[in-house]
Structure 1
Amino acid sequence: MRQTIPVGQPAQPVALALLADLKADLGVSDDTQDVRLESLLLDASDQVLTFIRRPILRAEWRDTLTLGPDEQRTGLLVCCRPLQAITAFSVNGSPWSVDAVAALNLAPDSGVIYPPDGWGTLWRCGRYVVTYQAGWTAPTIGDDGKPVLGDLPRAIQQATRLAAAALYHSGGRDPLLRSESEQGVGSSSWASPAAGSGGLPQAAADALRSFGGIGVR
């Protein structure tokens, strides 16, 4: 059995992609639409997080894992990942020292904690409480006005921009309309969300499949 709770205040909503990158995608060169585009980026970011269905942004968490007599395991799996660092660890109410915590063997991408050398090959039955930092850092703009790229995978950033662009192009038109044409002017078409994509464009949903998501087990 596992219980996961956040440590500290809830994180404020953040955009998962940079405004400048979205504007480049859209071919927007002035700042007259910045407020709207920033809002669309936040909406698209919420769509992406809802699709992935697990926390992915850097935060601190506390997992309580209880193993019964028949549940010895080679690794303890924390809920949030990538696992960046363990800040506290206790077994049956007894906290481990800083050195003991540092000696834990980790698989950051999968969020697995293996027993330290000398402990054995299995975690024994008991109650484990793990406080840890996990998740990626979204790109942002620093105090000097320059981009701080963070470590959020590019695929997630790209999917966010695709979703924001779809919201941008759908503004002011019938959401069920897939194409329109005007004689002597030309025609336009839009990619409609596919079933099971959580409202995202199909290309965005495809880019996010490896991170989990709706319909992924």
Structure 2
Amino acid sequence: MNTETLQGIGLNDEQIRSVMAEYGKEINPLKQAQANAEQERDSLKSQLEDVNGQLSEAQKNSKKGSELQGQLKDLQKQFDDSKAKAEEQLQATKKDYEIAAALSKAGAKNDKAVKALLDTEKVNFDDDGKLIGLSEQLEAVKQDNDFLFADENESNTKPTITSKGNPNPDGGNGNKALADYSYQELVALKTDNPTQYQTLVEGDK
């Protein structure tokens, strides 16, 4: 509705002003309500966009967090594996040292030969850190191969023994310490030449 429309229906200026005033009283609140509704709509739209942005960022962070957790798990596994391997190597070194000490105490003349007759896989440590599974094996080996062990009254040192009548094929002086023989060589010598074997074990008399 406008002035020209009212003039067209024959209203004078006073009547037009009166009608327009009444029309304004009705339409202005509607316009204000519409403006308020549009403002509220724009505000809600802005809030929705903000929430969507936060949700998207949260999803990204969640994915990054998941990836970070995966990396941390991988690093922890690598650390645990390295630690377990280091402890295993340390135990192996300690076991070798303890076995060597036990062989020396038992009077082994050839540690390598004696150790070859042991099942070291069955040798371990108990909860107190003491070696178990060795003494029984060592005693059995000693009973079956006493020539590999020195008598209790013998010196702990291993003298160099020269076997009689056995010149070095390379033209040397024929000196070869008992400790230089492997277990297989000693067994072969005992079988093929018992006299020389006995001389080698007891030394020149």
What TM-score results when the alignment is normalised by the length of structure 2? 0.24
Query: RCO (CA 8 Å, sep 6+): is it higher in 1 or 2?
Result: 1
TM-score (norm 1): 0.23
Richer in helix (by share): 2
Structure holding more strand per residue: 1
